[in-house]
Structure 1
Amino acid sequence: MWEFQVRPGCEDAFLQAYAPDGIWARFFRRSPEFLGLDLMRSSRHPARFFTLDAWTSEAAFRSFCEENGESYERLDVKLAGLTEWERRIGAFPSE
């Protein structure tokens, strides 16, 4: 799960990039271990968003990142201007 503070005026671009059918989800779909992505907007802070990326396991996510590290980094840098900050909240196994 990730938390993002979106820059003023970048909300629409952020929503497109981080939506369940956005560029991040399409990137993650390279892996059969990726189950989907949920995007949520804070009701108290409209510029604050949360994403929950679902994988078969944390190991599957880590393996994907190792195998696709350069592409992941390029995409992260490309979209960095949409947010003021982001932070990883954590991983939450469904078991």
Structure 2
Amino acid sequence: MFVALWEFEVKPRSKERFQKVYGPGGDWAKLFRSDSHYQETLLLHDSDHPAIFLILDFWTSRQAYENFRASHAAEYERLDAVGEALTRKERKIGWFESVEHG
């Protein structure tokens, strides 16, 4: 399993639209669902810091995610531009892979 983990600071009055774009049923997830290697998206909100959200995108592997980004570059850039209009900051926390036991 692979997870792309992002942190966003959302502009005031943009939270509802942000959730519609980045949430599990949002525009990003709809795009991702076109790939069989996509698993799910989680959107987390920091109740102590109302403008802060975390997004976790789950994929079968890092390679699957990177292949998807390369093959859907135009759609990815278009949605990224929508997100930039809604946020003050975007930070890639990291790309994480599950640790195999054994």
Q: For the superposition of Structure 1 and Structure 2, which TM-score range results when normalised by the shorter chain?
A: over 0.9
Aligned-pair Cα RMSD in Å = 0.8
- List runs of 5+ in structure 2 lacking aligned partners: none
Q: In the TM superposition, what whole-angstrom CA distance separates every residue of 1:29-78 from its partner, at most 9, and x where no partner exists?
A: 11100000000001221110000000000110000001011110011112
> Looking at CA atoms only, which structure, 1 or 2, has the larger radius of gyration?
2
Aligned equivalent of 1:75, options 60, 74, 79: 79
Aligned equivalent of 1:54, options 55, 58, 61: 58
Give the distance between the partners of 1:12 and 1:67, measured in 2 at CA. 29
User: How high is the TM-score relative to the length of structure 1?
Assistant: 0.95
Q: Given the alignment of the two structures, is residue 89 of structure 1 paired with residue 90 of structure 2, yes or no? A: no
Give the distance between the partners of 1:75 and 1:2, measured in 2 at CA. 15
Once superposed, which parts of structure 1, at least 4 consecutive aligned residues long, lie more than 3 Å away?
A: none
Give the distance between the partners of 2:22 and 2:28, measured in 1 at CA. 6
Matches within 5 A, 1:1-95: 1-95=5-99
**Partner secondary structure for residue 69 of structure 2:** helix
User: How high is the TM-score relative to the length of structure 2?
Assistant: 0.89
